[in-house]
Amino acid sequence: MKDFKTYLQNKNLATATQNIYIRYVNSFLNWYSDNYRNEPINCTKKDIINYLAHLKNKKNHENITRRNTLLAIRYYFDFLLKNNEISTNPTNFIKIRGIKKRKLYNIFSFDELTQLADDYYHNFVRNYNDNHIPKNQRKQSFLSKERNYLMLSFLVYQGLTTRELQRMTLADLDLNKATVKITGTKKSNERNIPLNASQIGTLIHYLNEIRPQFLAYLNTETNQLFLPLPEVGRTKVNNKKNSDLMGVIKNLSKQVKTLESKFLNFKQIRASIITHWIKTVGLRKAQYLAGHRYISSTENYLPNDLQSLTEDIAKFNPF
């Protein structure tokens, strides 16, 4: 079990998660030994299903707990598989039914997402009337909207989460290859995503003209790509509370809401682009672009695709 724990550590799982998974696996191994008097390398898919039934019928475990148990056991057999102790993972293709599904959103088409980004640029950047803003705040307002437009483009075209947006650094950009690297976390995989052609000019303008003006408000240098501005009445961003972008993202959300009444939040935007990827490049490629560790996470977005297909049928069916 010590080697298995090292395996979990190498998967960058949190210590608490490692301990829970080890406990789940030990419980399974004890049950398997008591019932089959056999080595775990001989375990079959049927044995796993029997154990899950045991947890439901004898232990009264909820589906969410049984799913987590199955995930832990899957890790264990992946560990054995990696060490060539087994030839196949007996947990493959086993799923726990009846778990709450990912929330369905009113999905935007890719054209609608593109139009949303364009509308933001025309309404809040190019044609924005700032006469109502005090003159001493107009520069900050202009810089903020330039930054916000670029942030929105990464949400729309690369399907980033707002946390990923906040973590972006200069080193993540490769303008020569026109790609952006999204660093992996405990819950997501690292990936390199192509930039949209419309982003290139905006990104270069931001890096050369806009971001340096943001830096003028900071006490120290930073490689963070997107930067906050000081609150009204302040001249510097000088504490940790002001260094994050949560307030910026909330304000951007409000601005987008004025352009599109169907907009709910940026999770809806991400769900829309993942649904678009599923339809255009397939599940596996969509899984990579979304940074999902498991294909099941990507499959959660399939109902959105089905919903849009149903709406198309209703729209174009003459009867």
**How many Å separate Cα 75 from the centre of its chain?**
22
The radius of gyration of the chain's CA atoms, rounded to the nearest angstrom, is 24
Give per-residue pLDDT as tens, 5-31: 999 999 888 787 888 899 999 999 999
Region 106-111 average pLDDT: 92
Confidence label for 102 from pLDDT (cuts 50, 70 and 90): low
DSSP state of 218: B
Tokens 């961003």 belong to 237
Q: What is the pTM of this model?
A: 0.65
CA separation for the pair 249, 257 (Å, rounded)? 12
- For residue 164, how many other CB atoms are within 10 A of its CB? 20
- Containing 214, the helix (H) or strand (E) segment is helix 211-215
Whole-angstrom CA distances from 21 to 5, 36, 141, 187, 315 are 9, 22, 49, 16, 48
**How many Å separate Cα 305 from the centre of its chain?**
18
Secondary structure E strands in the chain:
173-174, 179-182, 191-194
pLDDT reported for residue 316: 43
Long-range CB contact pairs, 78-84, < 8 A, 24+: 79/3, 79/4, 79/7, 80/40, 80/41, 82/7, 83/3
Give per-residue pLDDT as tens, 24-37: 999 999 999 999 98
pLDDT reported for residue 305: 53
Q: Which residue has the higher pLDDT, 302 or 136?
A: 136
pLDDT over threshold 50, residue 310:
no
What residue ranges define each of the domains in the chain, with the CATH number in brackets?
2-82 (1.10.150.130), 114-269 (1.10.443.10)
Give per-residue pLDDT as tens, 131-171: 999 998 889 899 999 999 999 999 999 999 999 999 999 99
CB-CB contact of 140 with 251 (8 Å): no
Alpha helices, DSSP H, located in 83-137: 110-120
- Containing 276, the helix (H) or strand (E) segment is helix 266-281
Whole-angstrom CA distances from 20 to 15, 17, 25, 130 are 9, 5, 9, 55
Mention every residue, 6+ apart, whose C-beta is less than 8 A from residue 49.
Answer: 94
Mention every residue, 6+ apart, whose C-beta is less than 8 A from residue 221.
Answer: 215
- For residue 113, how many other CB atoms are within 10 A of its CB? 21
